[in-house]
Structure 1
Amino acid sequence: MDGIKLENQLEDGIKNLILKMEKDIKSKDSELESKDKEIDSLKKELEILRGQLINKNKKLFGKSSEQVDSHQITLFNEAEKECDLRKDEPTLEEITYIRKKPSQNTGKKDNLSNLEVVVIEHKLSQDKAICNECNTPLIEIGKKEKDLLKYIPAKLYIERHVTYSYACKSCEEISEEANIISTTSPKTLLHKSMASNELLAHSICLKYLYSLPLYRQENYFKMLDVKLSRQTLSNWMMGAAREFNIVYDFMRKELLKSNYIQADETTLKVIDNAGKESKSKKYMWLYKTHGDNDSIIIYDYQPTRSSSCPKAFLGDYSGYLQTDGYTGYNKVENAKRIYCLAHIRRKYYDIVSNLDKVALKKSRAIIGFNYCEEIYKVEKELREAYGEDEKFFEIRYKERVRYLAPIFDKFQKYVQVELENALPKSPLGQALQYSQKLLPYMKTILEDGSLEVDNNAAERSIKPFVIGRKNWLFCNNKKGANSSAIIYSIIETSKSNNLAVEKYLVYLMDFISSNPNPEEEYLLKVMPWSETLPEDLKLQKK
């Protein structure tokens, strides 16, 4: 009996020990599972941080181009990549080859045909055109030509205009009032300044077209043996902007009549009233009508990036408005929104461009990237095939409905599926969230063949300001920033309309000098897009 009790006690003790061990094992398993999850979370977080670091380093030290190796990237879209909408089924044909001899005159046919040609002939004088062997007169048997591209150095001089007044003494004797007639001197934009319209246009172009800040211009003019202080040059810029304000306002009014506007914004530094750099970021906004050859480009300085800025500028604008993903533009409630495919593509590019071939095959981001590439490929083929056609927009509208609509649908489905498994804070998760927000509005381009798939034109138009900003670093005050906005608007619109900017500025200054308050019908005739502008203001098309 005692033996049985002892056995039962031993069994109970063993059972309790086993139960305790099982609990300990479960506890350890739970703890290990928790640690595994923590390790996985840390690994994912490390990958996110690593990706962010790579992207930061790439932006700082890498190349800015987003071109990719087509053999490396397009792993999942070979059929789409090789597809060409314009090509028919292949047929057998006989091919012959003609070998073209490379030209020996590379570079000599640059765009020089619009330049004046001064011919200087090097002939022997009559007394020297005699054979030194038999004294017989020499006969011309041929000639060679050599072209030299000459440069006339800049020159400054004083043009002193002396005006005279004349009086009729006979009238003065009869009526005791003299009939006085005075001659006039040429009018200039800054009528109280010594700056001629030509010099003013040159200085403006040096700063805003060639990004040469005023302190460097001071040295530039010093090399021409003229001392012009930065203060004087600055006053000229501010004065010119003030006179150009009427042109700026008219251009803005014409821009708002457009059915399609592209917009972008960038930062700049502005010195406050105390002479210190403002701690808050200031912004230069850009608005551009559609078109590369006849567009209107307007810069608008604002102290913030608030949504009230585009709302105040665009007002009740109800046409198409294309921007990046910044939500501040949503305040323009009546506009039909279009976003930028280049910004969507960039999110995926930042991920796949850092992957090796093995990682690329496993990447889910490559699929999103390839959808963007498919869309761009269709756009490129349409432009190459029909770009010169008068009905290009009409054709592109029909072809987009046929080819792009299915791609957008597949792209959206991909985004919805991938979002279920992607980490929200990972690069892929962020790219997917960005795509989910923008893709529905990207389909707006299917409504009108004149709409573009990206906002690159606006980004190209704001780039000259960004380049200039690197040179002059900041604007001295709010007035200076506004003046820069006015002058940049006129210069970039002139460039966009293929004008010789400096010549056009002189032409515009001459017009405003003679017409201080012109009516709109006359102002329209001197706008950069006007067809009535003199031919010598237009650059020769390449």
Structure 2
Amino acid sequence: MTGDQETFLQQILEERDRLFRENSKLKGQIAGYESFEAEKVSLTAQISEKDQVIDKLKQQVAMLQRKIWGKSSERFILPDPLQRRLDFDGLELLPEEKQLAVTAKEEIEQFKKIRVKVKTKKQPVRKPLPENLPREEHHIYPENIDTENWVELQPEITEVLEKDPARYYVRRIIRHKYALKNQASEDQATVVTADMPILPIAKSYAGATVLADITIDKYVNHLPFYRQIQMFKQQGISIPASTINDWNQEVADLMRPAYYRLKELVLASGYIQSDETTIPIINNEKHKTVKGYIWMLRAVIPKLVLFHYDKGSRAQKVALQLFKDYQGVIQSDGYAVYDIYENKKGVLPIGCWAHARRKFEEALKEDEARASYALKQIGLLYDVERQADHENLSYEQRADLRTRLAYPIMVAFEKWLVKEYPKVLPKGRIGKAIKYTYSIFNKLSRYHLDGRYKIDNNQAENAIRPIALGRKNWLFCGNHQSAENAAIIYSMLACCKNNDVNFRDWMIFFLENVHKYDTDYSKDLAELLPHNFKKQTDQSAKDHS
């Protein structure tokens, strides 16, 4: 091989080595690009996932902002209430169903046009002070007036509301004693002493009015006992904390038999609205507050309310025990505990449209079109109720009106729910709202069967509000016994509110009369309950008129 050939071969080998190196380098770059692409896909997926989380958090923030600063009314109102429309495009309705729904909508709109009145802004007028308040007159005369040359005209009177400090007094019970005259000796003398009136709490200096006011300050005005003790000190009265707690326990114990009688009446009423709310309880073992639950049962027709506490439990076993022998209607939200009564003989569960409406109201920011449509349909159902109220219909007439107007709307709305659910994200707010509403639609639609049934559970929720206000002030119950006492007293308070009874008047009446039932078992404790107290006072007022 010549020198030129060797040189050429050497060049070829060097070029080969260079190409090998270049090839390896390119392969490394390709592998890097592939790794980069995989990382890009992974990062893109992470970004997409985080975007979804951000959207969800934005919705939660918007919902919380509406709850804190938005309007409190849940009623959905269009910019122009007279221009509501039922859009049935795309709904798979039978022709007769569509016609019934359209006819119902037209009748509802016609009623609203008649009912809507132009609101004029009234000039604010100061309300006069109550006539039953005592008046103390303070006369002021002009200076330098000679009555011989001046004649007095009708004076100008201005009333100013004033207040004296709370007045406490001691009622001294003086029991007079008598003995027969001309007895042989004092030892043989016959002595008669006036009977001692029965006090609410034996061997206690607390009268019925003081016990009533302490209870009212605690459960109506939401003043913790330590604040009340400070208020007593301002009046020069020192009451130990243990004493005031004992009084509260005694009052609850006095109410307990009447509370059990109230429970019997509520469960015998045949139509109950049920709900639950939280109440903080001190757990002495964990040395912290834990969330407990208190149940609320509202007998709709007799206007009775019962709060039930069972060691803070919200479990199904509590409902099973509470409604063990109950026969009738149970109206509630979508809490799964009540599902067991769907197939129980003699029990008819019905739903609450206010809870369904609330779900769609929360979904407005996420899917305004669907949420607005749903709220319009629910609003039409409430329009039917307003029409029935306006016309003061009987139960039978209300049921007929619902069958004619509300039922066709519900038929169309149910089919819309079925059609729209596959189009939305199941975990989104609109998806959850549609799923919730459809899952209990059979319960929601049953209210139209009887004019006695309410469209929602709002009145039951109103009965719970004092507890919500109370836990923001007295913060917690010290133990299960305290929570049970609260349930008893809140039951009586709610019954008073439902029957337009002054809670203080009823408490004084109750404390002064409860011991009359201690030994006379022929008397019915129901006579002491607020609704019967109202009947007695109304009858007494009628007799004296």
> Does TM, normalized by the shorter one, top 0.5?
yes
Aligned residue in 2 for 1:221: 232
Distance 1:493 1:409 in 2: 37
In structure 1, distance between residues paired with 2:38 and 2:145 = 113
In the alignment, the residues of structure 1 paired with residue 478 and residue 286 of structure 2 have an alpha-carbon distance, to the nearest angstrom, of 8
**Alignment of 1:234 onto 2:245:** yes
The correspondence for 2:273, drawn from 262, 267, 270, is: 262
- Alignment of 1:425 onto 2:427: yes
Distance 2:310 2:317 in 1: 10
**Of 34, 38, 60, which residue of structure 2 is paired with 1:52?**
60
Q: Deviations over 1:496-530 (max 9, x none)?
A: 11111111110111111344245465533332112
Q: In the aligned structure 1, how far is the partner of 2:409 from the partner of 2:39?
A: 47
Corresponding position: 1:107 with 2:131: no
Q: Tell me the equivalent position of 2:528.
A: 526
CA distance in 2: counterparts of 1:260 and 1:478, whole angstroms:
29
Runs (4 or more) in structure 1 with deviation over 6 Å come to 29-42, 72-75, 87-90, 169-174
Give distance in 2, aligned partners of 1:527 and 1:85: 45
RMSD of aligned Cα (Å): 3.9
Match of 1:157 among 169, 185, 189: 169
Q: 2:496 aligns with which of 494, 499, 506?
A: 494
Q: Can you give the 5+ residue segments of structure 2 that lack an aligned partner in the other structure?
A: 1-36, 88-101
In structure 2, the partner of 1:479 is 481
Structure 2 matches for 1:24-103, cutoff 5 A? 46-56=54-64, 58-59=66-67, 64-68=72-76, 70-71=78-79, 77=86, 83-86=108-111
Give 2:253's aligned amino acid: R
Q: CA deviation at 1:149?
A: 3.7
Residue pair 1:500, 1:537 contacting (<8 A) in 2 also: no
Q: 1: distance between equivalents of 2:157 and 2:370?
A: 63
Is it true that 1:460 corresponds to 2:485 in the alignment? no
Are residue 364 (structure 1) and residue 376 (structure 2) matched?
Answer: no
1:319 aligns with 2:359: no
Distance 1:87 1:338, change over 3 A: closer
**SS in structure 1 at match of 2:473:** helix
1:7 paired residue number: none
The separation in 2 between residues aligned to 1:328 and 1:494, in whole angstroms, is 29
Equivalent residue, structure 2, for 1:12: none
The amino acid that maps onto 1:335 is: V
**What is the rounded CA distance, in whole Å, between the counterparts of 2:234 and 2:325 in structure 1?**
51
User: Are 1:142 and 2:154 matched, yes or no?
Assistant: yes
SS of equivalent residue, structure 1 residue 489: helix
Greater CA deviation, 254-263 or 374-383? 374-383
1:283 is the counterpart of 2:293: yes
Q: Which of residues 350, 365, 369 is equivalent to 2:362?
A: 350
* 8 Å contact from structure 1 (residues 310, 331) kept in 2: no
Per-residue CA distance 1:122-181 (angstroms, 9 max, x = gap):
599xxx99955xx46x6554344443444343112333324355555977869x866442
Identity %: 26
Structure 2 length as normaliser, TM-score? 0.77
Structure-2 change in CA distance of 1:448 and 1:109 (3 Å) = farther
The answer to whether the 8 Å contact 1:307/1:330 transfers is no
Would the alpha carbon gap of residues 59 and 108 (structure 1) be closer, same or farther in structure 2, given more than 3 Å must change?
closer
1:211 aligns with 2:211: no
Instruction: Give CA deviations for 1:245-291 in whole Å, capped at 9, x if unaligned.
Output: 12111111111121211111111121234482354x31111111115
> Corresponding residue for 2:258?
247
Range moving further from structure 2, 182-191 or 451-460? 182-191
SS in 1 for 2:307: strand
Matched, 1:375 2:381: yes
Conserved? CA contact 2:293–2:309, under 8 Å: yes
Q: Once the 2 structures are TM-superposed, how far is the Cα of residue 62 of structure 1 from its aligned partner?
A: 5.2
Contact 1:378 1:404 in 2 (8 A): yes
Check whether the contact 1:263–1:287 (CA below 8 A) recurs between aligned residues.
yes
Deviations 1:429-455 (A, max 9, x none): 111110111111111111111111110
2:203 aligned counterpart, secondary structure: coil
Task: Confirm or deny that 1:192 pairs with 2:203.
Answer: yes
Q: Quick check: 2:75–2:379 contact (8 Å CA) kept in 1?
A: no
Match of 2:269, SS state, is coil
Which amino acid is 1:449 matched to?
A: G
User: Is the partner of 1:159 in helix, strand or coil?
Assistant: coil
Q: Distance in 1 between matches of 2:484 and 2:463?
A: 17
TM-score normalised by the chain length of structure 1: 0.78
